[in-house]
Structure 1
Amino acid sequence: MSKSPRNKTIDFSLANAPAGVLNQILHEDDQLEHRAAVIDQTINGDAFNVLPRLPDKIADLAIVDPPYNLNKKYDGLDFKKMTDSDYRAYTQRWIDALLPKLKPQASLYVFADWQTSISLAPVLEQNFTIKNRITWQREKGRGALTNWKNGMEDIWFLTRDPNNYTFNVNRVKQRRQVIAPYRIAGQARDWKETAAGRFRDTMPSNFWDDISIPYWSMPENTGHPTQKPEKLLAKIILASSNPGDLILDPFAGAGSSLVTAKKLNRHFIGIEQSLLYTAWGEYRLQQTDAGDSIQGYTDGVFWERNTLAAQRARHHHH
């Protein structure tokens, strides 16, 4: 089936991988023990085999998008729904592999749906300090006749040390349109007059309703079934790391967290067991430069979905 010219989805096959993509990817049997060998690289392999071979205490931030406890096909690898206790054991296994790779003041973000969260939460609590449960609103979601449509996903914000961790609250303010300004002594408070209207930069909360799921006309879109948007990952990376820090993603999928880290001047290491998804991620990384734009994030501020300035910024994208 041929794609519309506006369709930017990255979904090439391995046989048609662009030149210079496959030979850049590291594999399980490569030299992975030294920082210089793995920094800013994607590694194709099983996280449980790769993590033990990476240097210890390397990561300032880990972004973890494990398979949710549902039946799902990922590039021919089937993930089968487990019992709760088996999923908890699986979670503890990846935590045990990941923990030695985190610095003592590192943070960790773990993605889940509400059902997976029920299994995850007790395990996360045994191993980390739970700082928050972020809920983000997915625009899409299948309607259901006998239940409420699933329109939300969870992100658990965890730290190793309850008090010593990075959180840059001023890097993740959200710009909201001011309908009726909040006044103090007759003066409208905190809002900015711009060509696109009146806006107020608000403190970020644990409910994110400004995220668009990648779709076919967006350059970041791939054929991956559970791809996370760059804008969502940018919030995490800006809040919980600093420029030059290293971000580790043990289930990197099509590389969205790595691409976002690179755009935001962070180092990264990604591990992904599907060679196809790793290749899509590597291709995206090769198309990316530090400082490249992230849809919905301009001038250091996150814009509400579909606001004028965000639309305008979109047209300037490469």
Structure 2
Amino acid sequence: MDRLPHESVDLIYIDPPFYSQKYYEVIWDESAERYAFEDRWRGGRETYINYLLERIRKMHDKLNPTGSFWIHLDWHIAHYMKIELDKIFGQANLQNEIIWQRTSAHSDAKRFGHVHDTLFFYSKSETFTWNPLFGPHSPEYVEKFYRFTDRTRGRYRLDHIIRSQSMGPRPNLSYEYKGYKPKWGWRVVREKLENLDRDGRIEWSKTGRPYLKRYLTEMKGTALTSIWADILPVQAHAKERLGYPTQKPLALLERIVSATSNPGDMVLDAFCGCGTTMEAAQRLGRHWIGIDISQTAIRVVENRLRKIGAPAPQVVGLVETEEQLRRLDPFEFQNWAINAVQGRHSTRKIADMGIDGFTFLENHPIQVKRMDDVGRPVIDSLVGVLEREKDKKGMVIAFGFTRGAIGEVARLKRESGIEIQLLTCSQLLEGISASQMIL
């Protein structure tokens, strides 16, 4: 995300892993490979919030002044996040709290079933892109208001064509038509009234009062509200289902993209997962950028877009070999390593006090070494950092470790209760699962 110019994105949608203590493992039918996707939050709520806010502040910088930001959350964390989001975007720029009813039934033994997610929709300023959307009228609404029918155009309702007293007189709208001259005038000029009448759109009541006929088939529908109960989750046998455990329905993202961006705009999803936002943006004629920590997810997105005939996307930053890693400059290598374990970056790039980052949510120190044979001195250095930070756990990421380093880590755990996880770049390139993460 750091590579994106400031104020270059028109719409940002993110669906970060929920604060729900869950693990997911999925088999993708297309390749019969087993991929691990986690929705994993070990640690406190504040740590989770800080993890997201660090990234959202950067997103705010990338958003155009007329842009919009959407975040998809569940009930565990939504309103804690709202307090912090108000600080970033401004309370006045919260346009909606959207309730998406994702399922109609959920059994909870001792409380009402949780059947909804929350989406917060913020604008960056008071001027933002907004395209009103409409849904079909309910059958009850149609029965109540569209009570009349004609043979050619179907159901219609009667609307006012003459002005009321509250609207006041208008000289150019005060005229007689077919012997009828309203006291306060008509709502349209004579020429338009004549055209409406010729088209069969004026109906006269038994008392001689004219009305305008509005046909159901020509109406936009009912304006959407902040409660969305008409979009179903991705069903087990749905054509769009990819097997991604938290996959959102395409219709949900199409609604968001349609309402808060225009064709040709740039859409960003910084937790793009299996690429639903990317497909919605592609289908609706928007440009898009997808970011995900998982190299597997990026491959899945590429395959998904290929299936709908989209041009091959440009993939940036996808490191696949140790050779590519060795060509990165020190800071890029450090960023890659911290991202690979979903860690939090140290804000100090120089004089970092021996800490390059912190483990995901539990905030244990991480040291990153662009070396092949990390030995005992690095372990001793990290122990000093842990003593200073009053911590008992830490992590070192490198290309390889000496026997001395591995032996010292084992001794520290056995004799001092200090846990240091040693991770190699090859492990991270292959993908590390939750069970392999001890911190």
Q: Same fold (TM over 0.5)?
A: yes
Residues 215 and 80 of structure 1: is their aligned pair in 2 closer, same or farther, counting only changes over 3 Å? Answer: same
2:48 aligns with 87
Residues 1:73 and 2:23 aligned together: yes
Whole-Å separation in 1 of the counterparts to 2:264 and 2:37: 36
Q: How far has the Cα of 1:151 moved from its partner?
A: 0.5
Residues 271 and 90 of structure 1: is their aligned pair in 2 closer, same or farther, counting only changes over 3 Å? Answer: same
Residues 1:138 and 2:102 aligned together: yes
Whole-Å separation in 2 of the counterparts to 1:287 and 1:144: 39
2:85 aligns with 124
> Are the aligned partners of 2:234 and 2:249 in contact in 1 as well (CA < 8 Å)?
yes
Query: 3-state SS of the aligned residue for 1:166?
Result: coil
Q: How far has the Cα of 1:98 moved from its partner?
A: 1.3
Q: How far has the Cα of 1:279 moved from its partner?
A: 1.8
| Matching residue within 230, 237, 258 for 1:217 | 237
Which range is displaced more, 236-245 or 67-76? 67-76
- The code of the aligned residue for 1:58 comes to S
Whole-Å separation in 2 of the counterparts to 1:269 and 1:137: 28
Residues 91 and 141 of structure 1: is their aligned pair in 2 closer, same or farther, counting only changes over 3 Å? Answer: farther
Residues 116 and 206 of structure 1: is their aligned pair in 2 closer, same or farther, counting only changes over 3 Å? Answer: same
- The code of the aligned residue for 2:7 comes to K
- The code of the aligned residue for 2:56 comes to I
Query: Which 4+ runs in 1 deviate beyond 3 A?
Result: 183-187
What is the number of equivalent residue pairs in this alignment? Answer: 233
2:6 aligns with 56
Which range is displaced more, 180-189 or 120-129? 180-189
* Aligned 1:129-208 pairs, distance under 5 A: 129-139=93-103, 142-161=106-125, 163-169=126-132, 172-179=133-140, 180-182=143-145, 188=157, 192-193=216-217, 201-208=221-228
Query: 3-state SS of the aligned residue for 1:52?
Result: coil
After superposition, give the CA deviation of every residue in 1:241-272 in whole Å (9 maximum; x if it has no partner).
00010100000010000001101111100011
Q: How far has the Cα of 1:85 moved from its partner?
A: 2.0
Whole-Å separation in 2 of the counterparts to 1:193 and 1:249: 36
Q: How far has the Cα of 1:68 moved from its partner?
A: 1.7
Whole-Å separation in 2 of the counterparts to 1:200 and 1:57: 34
Which range is displaced more, 201-210 or 270-279? 270-279
- The code of the aligned residue for 1:157 comes to F
Residues 81 and 150 of structure 1: is their aligned pair in 2 closer, same or farther, counting only changes over 3 Å? Answer: farther
Query: 3-state SS of the aligned residue for 2:110?
Result: coil
Query: 3-state SS of the aligned residue for 2:144?
Result: coil
- The code of the aligned residue for 1:209 comes to A
- The code of the aligned residue for 1:211 comes to I
TM-score with structure 2 setting the length: 0.50
Whole-Å separation in 2 of the counterparts to 1:160 and 1:222: 33
Whole-Å separation in 1 of the counterparts to 2:220 and 2:123: 30
Q: Determine what percentage of the aligned residue pairs are the same residue.
A: 29
After superposition, give the CA deviation of every residue in 1:24-81 in whole Å (9 maximum; x if it has no partner).
xxxxxxxxxxxxxxxxxxxxxxxxxxx1122322210000111221212352546224
Query: 3-state SS of the aligned residue for 1:282?
Result: helix
> Are the aligned partners of 2:41 and 2:48 in contact in 1 as well (CA < 8 Å)?
no
Whole-Å separation in 2 of the counterparts to 1:130 and 1:153: 17
Q: How far has the Cα of 1:82 moved from its partner?
A: 3.6
Q: Which runs of 5+ in 1 are unaligned?
A: 1-50, 291-318
Residues 282 and 109 of structure 1: is their aligned pair in 2 closer, same or farther, counting only changes over 3 Å? Answer: same
> Are the aligned partners of 1:243 and 1:266 in contact in 2 as well (CA < 8 Å)?
yes
* Aligned 1:95-110 pairs, distance under 5 A: 95-110=56-71
Q: How far has the Cα of 1:126 moved from its partner?
A: 0.5
After superposition, give the CA deviation of every residue in 1:99-150 in whole Å (9 maximum; x if it has no partner).
2211111101100112211221101111112111000111266421112111
Residues 191 and 177 of structure 1: is their aligned pair in 2 closer, same or farther, counting only changes over 3 Å? Answer: farther
Residues 210 and 144 of structure 1: is their aligned pair in 2 closer, same or farther, counting only changes over 3 Å? Answer: same
- Name the Cα RMSD after superposition: 2.4
* Aligned 1:235-246 pairs, distance under 5 A: 235-246=255-266
* Aligned 1:4-43 pairs, distance under 5 A: none
> Are the aligned partners of 1:262 and 1:288 in contact in 2 as well (CA < 8 Å)?
no
| Matching residue within 296, 303, 306 for 1:283 | 303
> Are the aligned partners of 1:60 and 1:103 in contact in 2 as well (CA < 8 Å)?
yes
> Are the aligned partners of 1:69 and 1:82 in contact in 2 as well (CA < 8 Å)?
no
Whole-Å separation in 2 of the counterparts to 1:241 and 1:78: 29
> Are the aligned partners of 2:268 and 2:289 in contact in 1 as well (CA < 8 Å)?
yes
| Matching residue within 264, 268, 273 for 2:288 | 268
Q: Which runs of 5+ in 2 are unaligned?
A: 25-35, 150-155, 159-213, 311-439
> Are the aligned partners of 1:258 and 1:269 in contact in 2 as well (CA < 8 Å)?
yes
Query: 3-state SS of the aligned residue for 1:181?
Result: helix
Residues 281 and 193 of structure 1: is their aligned pair in 2 closer, same or farther, counting only changes over 3 Å? Answer: same
- The code of the aligned residue for 2:281 comes to A
Pick the structure with greater CA Rg: 2
> Are the aligned partners of 2:57 and 2:88 in contact in 1 as well (CA < 8 Å)?
no
> Are the aligned partners of 1:62 and 1:109 in contact in 2 as well (CA < 8 Å)?
yes
